[in-house]
Amino acid sequence: MKDRIERTILTNLIYNEDYLRRVLPFLQPDYFESRVEKTIFEEISQFVVGYDKLPTQEILSIEIKNRNDLTQQDYSDLLKVVDELVHEDINQEWLLDATEKWCKDRAIYLALMESIGIADGGDGQKNRDAIPSILQDALAVCFDNNIGHDYLEDYEQRYDFYHKKEDKIPFDLEYLNKITKGGLPPKTLNVALAGTGVGKSLFMCHVASSVLLQGRNVLYITMEMAEEKIAERIDANLLNVNIQDIADLPKAMFEGKVNGLSKKTQGTLIIKEYPTASAHSGHFRALLNELSLKRSFKPDIIFIDYLNICASSRYSKLGSVNSYSYIKSIAEELRGLAVEANVPIISATQTTRSGYASSDVDLTDTSESFGLPATADLMFALISTEELEGLGQIMVKQLKNRYNDLAVHKRFVVGIDRAKMRLYDCEQSAQDDILDRGDDEEYNGEEKSFKDKFTKLKFG
Protein backbone atom coordinates (compact mmCIF):
# COMPACT_ATOMS: atom_id res chain seq x y z
CA MET A 1 0.00 0.00 0.00
CA LYS A 2 2.88 2.36 0.89
CA ASP A 3 4.65 1.66 -2.41
CA ARG A 4 1.37 2.21 -4.24
CA ILE A 5 0.71 5.68 -2.76
CA GLU A 6 4.34 6.72 -3.30
CA ARG A 7 4.19 5.66 -6.95
CA THR A 8 0.87 7.48 -7.37
CA ILE A 9 2.40 10.65 -5.90
CA LEU A 10 5.43 10.45 -8.21
CA THR A 11 3.22 9.79 -11.25
CA ASN A 12 1.06 12.84 -10.61
CA LEU A 13 4.11 15.00 -9.95
CA ILE A 14 5.13 14.58 -13.60
CA TYR A 15 1.65 14.62 -15.18
CA ASN A 16 -0.55 16.84 -12.99
CA GLU A 17 0.79 20.40 -12.76
CA ASP A 18 -1.97 21.69 -10.45
CA TYR A 19 -1.31 18.83 -8.04
CA LEU A 20 2.45 19.41 -8.18
CA ARG A 21 2.13 23.14 -7.39
CA ARG A 22 -0.06 22.41 -4.39
CA VAL A 23 1.86 19.56 -2.75
CA LEU A 24 5.53 20.03 -3.70
CA PRO A 25 6.22 22.62 -0.95
CA PHE A 26 5.11 20.10 1.70
CA LEU A 27 6.87 16.97 0.43
CA GLN A 28 10.25 15.97 1.87
CA PRO A 29 12.70 13.46 0.35
CA ASP A 30 12.88 11.61 3.68
CA TYR A 31 9.16 10.87 3.49
CA PHE A 32 9.88 8.31 0.73
CA GLU A 33 10.78 5.03 2.36
CA SER A 34 12.47 3.44 -0.65
CA ARG A 35 15.77 4.87 -1.94
CA VAL A 36 14.48 4.46 -5.50
CA GLU A 37 11.37 6.63 -4.95
CA LYS A 38 13.41 9.11 -2.90
CA THR A 39 15.94 9.53 -5.74
CA ILE A 40 13.21 10.03 -8.34
CA PHE A 41 11.50 12.64 -6.17
CA GLU A 42 14.80 14.51 -5.76
CA GLU A 43 15.22 14.62 -9.54
CA ILE A 44 11.65 15.88 -10.02
CA SER A 45 12.08 18.54 -7.35
CA GLN A 46 15.42 19.75 -8.73
CA PHE A 47 14.03 19.99 -12.27
CA VAL A 48 10.94 21.96 -11.16
CA VAL A 49 13.06 24.35 -9.10
CA GLY A 50 15.51 24.85 -11.96
CA TYR A 51 13.11 25.10 -14.92
CA ASP A 52 9.68 25.75 -13.37
CA LYS A 53 8.14 23.04 -15.56
CA LEU A 54 7.07 19.42 -15.18
CA PRO A 55 9.73 16.87 -16.09
CA THR A 56 8.90 14.07 -18.52
CA GLN A 57 9.80 10.39 -18.21
CA GLU A 58 12.53 10.92 -20.79
CA ILE A 59 14.03 13.85 -18.87
CA LEU A 60 14.04 11.84 -15.65
CA SER A 61 15.75 8.92 -17.40
CA ILE A 62 18.46 11.22 -18.79
CA GLU A 63 19.06 12.93 -15.43
CA ILE A 64 19.32 9.57 -13.68
CA LYS A 65 21.86 8.32 -16.24
CA ASN A 66 23.94 11.47 -15.66
CA ARG A 67 24.31 10.74 -11.95
CA ASN A 68 27.63 9.27 -10.82
CA ASP A 69 26.62 8.14 -7.33
CA LEU A 70 24.61 5.07 -8.36
CA THR A 71 25.48 1.45 -8.99
CA GLN A 72 24.47 -0.43 -12.13
CA GLN A 73 21.68 -2.11 -10.16
CA ASP A 74 20.45 1.31 -8.95
CA TYR A 75 20.31 2.56 -12.55
CA SER A 76 18.32 -0.48 -13.58
CA ASP A 77 15.83 -0.17 -10.68
CA LEU A 78 15.35 3.57 -11.18
CA LEU A 79 14.79 3.39 -14.94
CA LYS A 80 12.33 0.55 -14.43
CA VAL A 81 10.26 2.58 -11.95
CA VAL A 82 10.34 5.69 -14.19
CA ASP A 83 8.96 3.61 -17.10
CA GLU A 84 6.13 2.44 -14.81
CA LEU A 85 4.98 6.00 -14.03
CA VAL A 86 2.00 5.92 -16.38
CA HIS A 87 -0.66 8.62 -16.15
CA GLU A 88 -4.09 7.64 -14.78
CA ASP A 89 -7.21 9.73 -14.11
CA ILE A 90 -7.62 10.03 -10.33
CA ASN A 91 -10.00 12.18 -8.32
CA GLN A 92 -8.01 15.31 -7.40
CA GLU A 93 -9.60 15.91 -3.98
CA TRP A 94 -9.05 12.31 -2.91
CA LEU A 95 -5.46 12.45 -4.11
CA LEU A 96 -4.74 15.61 -2.12
CA ASP A 97 -6.28 14.10 1.05
CA ALA A 98 -4.39 10.85 0.60
CA THR A 99 -1.11 12.69 0.03
CA GLU A 100 -1.64 14.84 3.13
CA LYS A 101 -2.39 11.75 5.26
CA TRP A 102 0.72 10.01 3.91
CA CYS A 103 2.87 13.06 4.71
CA LYS A 104 1.50 13.20 8.26
CA ASP A 105 2.09 9.49 8.85
CA ARG A 106 5.65 9.66 7.54
CA ALA A 107 6.44 12.83 9.51
CA ILE A 108 5.22 11.23 12.76
CA TYR A 109 7.14 8.03 12.06
CA LEU A 110 10.39 9.90 11.34
CA ALA A 111 9.88 12.09 14.43
CA LEU A 112 9.44 8.99 16.60
CA MET A 113 12.61 7.44 15.17
CA GLU A 114 14.55 10.67 15.79
CA SER A 115 13.18 10.87 19.34
CA ILE A 116 14.27 7.31 20.05
CA GLY A 117 17.75 8.17 18.77
CA ILE A 118 17.92 11.21 21.04
CA ALA A 119 16.68 9.19 24.03
CA ASP A 120 19.41 6.60 23.38
CA GLY A 121 22.06 9.33 23.26
CA GLY A 122 22.71 9.04 19.56
CA ASP A 123 22.39 12.79 18.84
CA GLY A 124 25.14 15.01 20.21
CA GLN A 125 23.39 18.26 19.26
CA LYS A 126 19.95 17.70 20.81
CA ASN A 127 18.93 16.52 24.25
CA ARG A 128 15.76 14.80 25.45
CA ASP A 129 14.06 18.15 26.07
CA ALA A 130 13.88 18.58 22.28
CA ILE A 131 11.63 15.52 21.86
CA PRO A 132 8.28 17.27 22.59
CA SER A 133 9.08 19.99 20.07
CA ILE A 134 10.05 17.43 17.40
CA LEU A 135 6.83 15.48 17.90
CA GLN A 136 4.74 18.64 17.94
CA ASP A 137 6.22 19.78 14.60
CA ALA A 138 5.41 16.39 13.10
CA LEU A 139 1.84 16.48 14.34
CA ALA A 140 1.42 19.97 12.87
CA VAL A 141 2.15 18.84 9.30
CA CYS A 142 -0.74 19.81 7.03
CA PHE A 143 -1.41 21.26 3.59
CA ASP A 144 -2.21 24.96 3.89
CA ASN A 145 -4.46 25.93 0.99
CA ASN A 146 -4.02 29.63 1.69
CA ILE A 147 -1.38 30.78 -0.81
CA GLY A 148 -1.31 34.42 0.21
CA HIS A 149 -3.18 37.70 0.21
CA ASP A 150 -4.15 39.01 -3.23
CA TYR A 151 -3.69 42.77 -2.89
CA LEU A 152 -6.26 43.74 -5.53
CA GLU A 153 -8.81 40.95 -5.04
CA ASP A 154 -8.81 40.75 -1.22
CA TYR A 155 -9.23 44.45 -0.48
CA GLU A 156 -12.48 43.89 1.46
CA GLN A 157 -10.78 41.45 3.80
CA ARG A 158 -7.96 43.93 4.27
CA TYR A 159 -10.38 46.79 4.96
CA ASP A 160 -12.21 44.72 7.58
CA PHE A 161 -8.87 43.92 9.22
CA TYR A 162 -8.00 47.63 9.45
CA HIS A 163 -11.25 48.30 11.31
CA LYS A 164 -11.24 45.22 13.48
CA LYS A 165 -10.72 46.08 17.12
CA GLU A 166 -7.89 43.97 18.47
CA ASP A 167 -8.16 42.62 21.99
CA LYS A 168 -5.14 44.20 23.64
CA ILE A 169 -3.90 44.17 27.22
CA PRO A 170 -3.68 47.87 28.15
CA PHE A 171 -1.14 49.31 30.59
CA ASP A 172 -2.06 51.63 33.42
CA LEU A 173 0.77 53.93 32.30
CA GLU A 174 -0.06 56.59 29.71
CA TYR A 175 3.13 56.58 27.65
CA LEU A 176 3.37 52.80 27.45
CA ASN A 177 -0.14 52.81 25.98
CA LYS A 178 0.91 55.53 23.54
CA ILE A 179 3.90 53.65 22.16
CA THR A 180 1.91 50.39 21.84
CA LYS A 181 -1.27 52.02 20.45
CA GLY A 182 -3.37 50.94 23.39
CA GLY A 183 -1.60 47.95 24.87
CA LEU A 184 -0.06 44.59 24.05
CA PRO A 185 -1.72 42.43 21.37
CA PRO A 186 -1.75 38.62 21.65
CA LYS A 187 0.86 36.39 20.03
CA THR A 188 3.73 38.77 20.85
CA LEU A 189 6.98 38.72 22.82
CA ASN A 190 7.79 41.91 24.74
CA VAL A 191 11.11 42.35 26.51
CA ALA A 192 12.41 44.84 29.07
CA LEU A 193 16.18 45.42 29.05
CA ALA A 194 17.81 46.60 32.27
CA GLY A 195 20.82 46.16 34.49
CA THR A 196 20.87 44.32 37.81
CA GLY A 197 18.73 46.04 40.42
CA VAL A 198 17.25 48.61 38.04
CA GLY A 199 13.73 47.22 38.17
CA LYS A 200 13.00 44.39 35.72
CA SER A 201 11.04 42.32 38.23
CA LEU A 202 9.44 45.45 39.69
CA PHE A 203 8.19 46.40 36.24
CA MET A 204 6.74 42.96 35.58
CA CYS A 205 5.15 42.72 39.03
CA HIS A 206 3.54 46.15 38.57
CA VAL A 207 2.12 45.28 35.14
CA ALA A 208 0.93 41.89 36.45
CA SER A 209 -0.87 43.69 39.29
CA SER A 210 -2.52 46.19 36.92
CA VAL A 211 -3.69 43.41 34.57
CA LEU A 212 -5.18 41.50 37.51
CA LEU A 213 -7.15 44.60 38.50
CA GLN A 214 -8.57 44.67 34.96
CA GLY A 215 -10.29 41.37 35.75
CA ARG A 216 -7.96 39.30 33.58
CA ASN A 217 -6.08 36.08 34.30
CA VAL A 218 -2.33 36.36 34.82
CA LEU A 219 0.35 33.66 34.84
CA TYR A 220 3.67 34.72 36.37
CA ILE A 221 6.55 32.27 35.88
CA THR A 222 9.63 32.98 37.97
CA MET A 223 13.06 31.38 37.79
CA GLU A 224 14.93 34.06 39.71
CA MET A 225 12.98 34.44 42.96
CA ALA A 226 10.71 32.23 45.02
CA GLU A 227 6.96 32.29 44.47
CA GLU A 228 6.46 33.91 47.86
CA LYS A 229 8.92 36.72 47.06
CA ILE A 230 7.07 37.57 43.87
CA ALA A 231 3.76 37.42 45.74
CA GLU A 232 5.24 39.76 48.39
CA ARG A 233 6.06 42.35 45.74
CA ILE A 234 2.58 42.09 44.29
CA ASP A 235 1.14 42.39 47.81
CA ALA A 236 3.06 45.63 48.32
CA ASN A 237 1.65 46.97 45.05
CA LEU A 238 -1.97 45.90 45.41
CA LEU A 239 -2.39 46.25 49.17
CA ASN A 240 -0.71 49.68 49.27
CA VAL A 241 1.78 48.64 51.95
CA ASN A 242 5.55 49.15 52.05
CA ILE A 243 7.24 45.85 51.26
CA GLN A 244 9.25 46.04 54.49
CA ASP A 245 6.03 46.32 56.54
CA ILE A 246 4.07 43.43 55.04
CA ALA A 247 5.47 40.87 57.48
CA ASP A 248 4.43 43.09 60.42
CA LEU A 249 0.75 43.27 59.38
CA PRO A 250 -1.66 41.45 61.75
CA LYS A 251 -3.22 38.41 60.11
CA ALA A 252 -6.75 39.82 60.39
CA MET A 253 -5.72 43.05 58.65
CA PHE A 254 -3.82 41.17 55.93
CA GLU A 255 -6.79 38.86 55.38
CA GLY A 256 -9.16 41.80 55.20
CA LYS A 257 -7.03 43.58 52.59
CA VAL A 258 -6.81 40.44 50.42
CA ASN A 259 -10.56 39.81 50.70
CA GLY A 260 -11.24 43.43 49.77
CA LEU A 261 -8.97 43.03 46.75
CA SER A 262 -10.75 39.85 45.62
CA LYS A 263 -14.01 41.80 45.44
CA LYS A 264 -12.47 44.31 43.02
CA THR A 265 -11.46 41.83 40.34
CA GLN A 266 -12.75 38.73 38.60
CA GLY A 267 -9.25 37.76 37.50
CA THR A 268 -6.84 35.16 38.85
CA LEU A 269 -3.09 35.41 39.35
CA ILE A 270 -1.03 32.19 39.37
CA ILE A 271 2.68 32.33 40.31
CA LYS A 272 4.78 29.32 39.37
CA GLU A 273 8.44 28.86 40.32
CA TYR A 274 10.98 26.78 38.40
CA PRO A 275 14.65 26.21 39.27
CA THR A 276 17.01 28.56 37.42
CA ALA A 277 17.91 27.46 33.88
CA SER A 278 15.90 24.23 34.16
CA ALA A 279 12.57 25.08 32.46
CA HIS A 280 11.82 25.77 28.81
CA SER A 281 8.81 26.35 26.59
CA GLY A 282 7.90 22.67 26.78
CA HIS A 283 7.53 22.90 30.56
CA PHE A 284 5.49 26.10 30.23
CA ARG A 285 3.23 24.45 27.65
CA ALA A 286 2.68 21.49 29.99
CA LEU A 287 1.90 23.93 32.81
CA LEU A 288 -0.75 25.64 30.67
CA ASN A 289 -2.36 22.29 29.90
CA GLU A 290 -2.31 21.29 33.58
CA LEU A 291 -3.82 24.60 34.70
CA SER A 292 -6.52 24.26 32.08
CA LEU A 293 -7.42 20.73 33.21
CA LYS A 294 -7.13 21.16 36.98
CA ARG A 295 -8.12 24.77 37.52
CA SER A 296 -10.00 25.69 34.32
CA PHE A 297 -7.48 28.53 34.14
CA LYS A 298 -6.48 30.14 30.85
CA PRO A 299 -4.13 33.13 31.14
CA ASP A 300 -4.70 36.37 29.27
CA ILE A 301 -1.02 37.29 29.66
CA ILE A 302 2.15 35.46 30.70
CA PHE A 303 5.16 36.92 32.52
CA ILE A 304 8.48 35.06 32.45
CA ASP A 305 11.09 36.31 34.92
CA TYR A 306 13.38 36.21 33.04
CA LEU A 307 14.34 35.07 29.54
CA ASN A 308 18.09 34.55 29.89
CA ILE A 309 17.72 32.03 32.72
CA CYS A 310 15.22 29.88 30.80
CA ALA A 311 16.39 26.72 29.09
CA SER A 312 16.01 25.88 25.41
CA SER A 313 13.92 22.91 24.32
CA ARG A 314 16.07 22.47 21.23
CA TYR A 315 19.63 22.83 22.51
CA SER A 316 21.54 21.66 25.52
CA LYS A 317 23.63 24.36 27.17
CA LEU A 318 26.21 21.68 27.95
CA GLY A 319 26.69 21.10 24.23
CA SER A 320 28.69 23.09 21.71
CA VAL A 321 25.99 25.68 20.97
CA ASN A 322 27.07 29.32 21.36
CA SER A 323 25.24 31.89 23.48
CA TYR A 324 23.91 33.77 20.42
CA SER A 325 22.10 30.70 19.08
CA TYR A 326 21.04 29.53 22.54
CA ILE A 327 19.37 32.79 23.67
CA LYS A 328 17.88 33.35 20.21
CA SER A 329 16.43 29.85 20.39
CA ILE A 330 14.83 30.61 23.77
CA ALA A 331 13.33 33.83 22.42
CA GLU A 332 11.93 32.05 19.34
CA GLU A 333 10.44 29.28 21.49
CA LEU A 334 8.78 31.77 23.85
CA ARG A 335 7.35 33.74 20.95
CA GLY A 336 6.09 30.47 19.48
CA LEU A 337 4.43 29.73 22.83
CA ALA A 338 2.79 33.18 22.75
CA VAL A 339 1.38 32.43 19.28
CA GLU A 340 0.18 28.98 20.32
CA ALA A 341 -1.45 30.22 23.55
CA ASN A 342 -2.76 33.39 21.82
CA VAL A 343 -1.46 35.67 24.59
CA PRO A 344 1.21 38.36 24.94
CA ILE A 345 4.33 37.31 26.82
CA ILE A 346 6.38 39.82 28.83
CA SER A 347 9.92 38.96 29.85
CA ALA A 348 13.21 40.69 30.57
CA THR A 349 16.91 40.45 29.83
CA GLN A 350 20.13 41.81 31.31
CA THR A 351 22.35 44.52 29.89
CA THR A 352 26.02 43.94 29.23
CA ARG A 353 28.60 45.19 31.71
CA SER A 354 29.11 48.38 29.70
CA GLY A 355 25.36 48.92 29.45
CA TYR A 356 24.92 48.63 33.21
CA ALA A 357 26.73 51.92 33.83
CA SER A 358 25.34 53.65 30.73
CA SER A 359 22.69 56.35 30.91
CA ASP A 360 21.79 55.73 27.24
CA VAL A 361 21.29 51.99 26.80
CA ASP A 362 21.04 50.72 23.21
CA LEU A 363 20.24 47.44 21.46
CA THR A 364 23.94 46.64 21.33
CA ASP A 365 23.92 46.50 25.14
CA THR A 366 21.76 43.35 25.08
CA SER A 367 23.66 40.64 26.91
CA GLU A 368 24.63 37.27 25.39
CA SER A 369 22.71 37.40 22.10
CA PHE A 370 21.69 40.03 19.55
CA GLY A 371 19.26 37.43 18.27
CA LEU A 372 16.90 38.33 21.12
CA PRO A 373 15.99 41.83 19.88
CA ALA A 374 15.68 40.37 16.38
CA THR A 375 12.89 38.09 17.66
CA ALA A 376 11.05 40.40 20.09
CA ASP A 377 8.07 42.50 18.98
CA LEU A 378 8.65 45.23 21.56
CA MET A 379 11.90 45.90 23.36
CA PHE A 380 12.63 48.80 25.65
CA ALA A 381 15.32 49.71 28.15
CA LEU A 382 14.75 50.70 31.78
CA ILE A 383 17.39 53.25 32.75
CA SER A 384 18.14 54.51 36.25
CA THR A 385 20.69 57.17 37.20
CA GLU A 386 21.41 58.93 40.48
CA GLU A 387 19.58 62.00 39.26
CA LEU A 388 16.50 60.00 38.21
CA GLU A 389 16.61 58.02 41.45
CA GLY A 390 16.63 61.25 43.40
CA LEU A 391 13.52 62.39 41.51
CA GLY A 392 11.78 59.07 42.08
CA GLN A 393 11.74 58.34 38.36
CA ILE A 394 12.95 55.73 35.89
CA MET A 395 13.53 56.34 32.19
CA VAL A 396 12.06 54.15 29.46
CA LYS A 397 13.80 54.13 26.08
CA GLN A 398 12.30 52.35 23.08
CA LEU A 399 14.73 50.02 21.32
CA LYS A 400 12.44 48.13 18.95
CA ASN A 401 8.74 48.57 18.30
CA ARG A 402 6.56 46.68 15.81
CA TYR A 403 3.39 48.40 17.05
CA ASN A 404 4.18 52.05 16.43
CA ASP A 405 6.74 54.52 15.09
CA LEU A 406 9.93 54.07 17.11
CA ALA A 407 10.76 57.78 16.86
CA VAL A 408 7.56 58.88 18.64
CA HIS A 409 8.14 59.17 22.41
CA LYS A 410 11.45 57.38 22.05
CA ARG A 411 12.31 58.33 25.62
CA PHE A 412 9.99 59.12 28.51
CA VAL A 413 10.01 58.82 32.28
CA VAL A 414 7.64 57.15 34.71
CA GLY A 415 7.50 57.54 38.45
CA ILE A 416 8.75 54.68 40.61
CA ASP A 417 7.92 53.82 44.21
CA ARG A 418 10.28 51.02 45.11
CA ALA A 419 8.87 50.65 48.63
CA LYS A 420 5.44 49.74 47.22
CA MET A 421 6.74 48.16 44.02
CA ARG A 422 4.76 50.60 41.88
CA LEU A 423 5.11 52.65 38.74
CA TYR A 424 2.98 55.71 38.02
CA ASP A 425 2.57 58.49 35.46
CA CYS A 426 4.70 61.60 35.95
CA GLU A 427 3.61 65.17 35.39
CA GLN A 428 3.86 66.35 31.79
CA SER A 429 6.61 68.79 32.80
CA ALA A 430 8.87 65.80 33.52
CA GLN A 431 8.47 64.66 29.90
CA ASP A 432 9.11 68.15 28.53
CA ASP A 433 12.64 68.12 29.95
CA ILE A 434 13.63 65.11 27.85
CA LEU A 435 15.53 66.12 24.71
CA ASP A 436 14.90 62.98 22.64
CA ARG A 437 11.17 62.62 23.08
CA GLY A 438 10.64 62.09 19.37
CA ASP A 439 7.66 64.43 18.93
CA ASP A 440 9.40 67.83 19.06
CA GLU A 441 13.17 67.87 18.93
CA GLU A 442 14.54 70.65 21.07
CA TYR A 443 17.53 72.88 20.37
CA ASN A 444 19.16 75.50 22.49
CA GLY A 445 19.75 78.96 21.02
CA GLU A 446 23.29 78.23 19.84
CA GLU A 447 22.28 74.96 18.13
CA LYS A 448 19.29 76.58 16.43
CA SER A 449 21.41 79.50 15.21
CA PHE A 450 23.97 77.12 13.72
CA LYS A 451 21.21 75.09 12.06
CA ASP A 452 19.70 78.23 10.48
CA LYS A 453 23.10 79.35 9.13
CA PHE A 454 23.81 75.89 7.75
CA THR A 455 20.39 75.77 6.01
CA LYS A 456 21.00 79.19 4.39
CA LEU A 457 24.43 78.12 3.15
CA LYS A 458 23.14 74.86 1.76
CA PHE A 459 19.97 76.05 0.12
CA GLY A 460 20.72 79.74 -0.48
CA 266 to chain centre: 28
Contacts made by residues 241-247, CB under 8 angstroms, sequence distance 24+: 241/420, 242/419, 242/420, 243/419, 243/420, 243/421, 244/419
CA neighbor of 13 nearest in space, from 24, 4, 26, 2: 24
Per-residue pLDDT for 326 more than 90?
no
AA identity, residue 399 = L
User: What tens digit of pLDDT does each residue of 27-37 get?
Assistant: 899 999 888 99
Three-state DSSP at 437 gives coil
Residues paired with 380 in a beta bridge: 192, 398
pLDDT of the residue at 372: 85
Per-residue pLDDT for 299 more than 90?
yes
Q: How confident is the model at residue 415 (pLDDT cuts 50, 70, 90)?
A: very high
Could you list the beta-strand ranges (E) of 331-377: 344-350
355 neighbors 397 (Cβ within 8 angstroms): no
Decide the pairing of beta strands 378-383 and 301-305. unpaired
Q: How confident is the model at residue 446 (pLDDT cuts 50, 70, 90)?
A: very low
pLDDT of the residue at 455: 43
User: What tens digit of pLDDT does each residue of 66-105 get?
Assistant: 888 888 888 898 999 999 888 888 888 899 889 989 999 9
Q: How confident is the model at residue 436 (pLDDT cuts 50, 70, 90)?
A: low
Q: How confident is the model at residue 144 (pLDDT cuts 50, 70, 90)?
A: low
pLDDT of the residue at 356: 61
Where do the domains of the chain lie, and which CATH numbers do they carry? 2-139 (1.10.860.10), 174-432 (3.40.50.300)
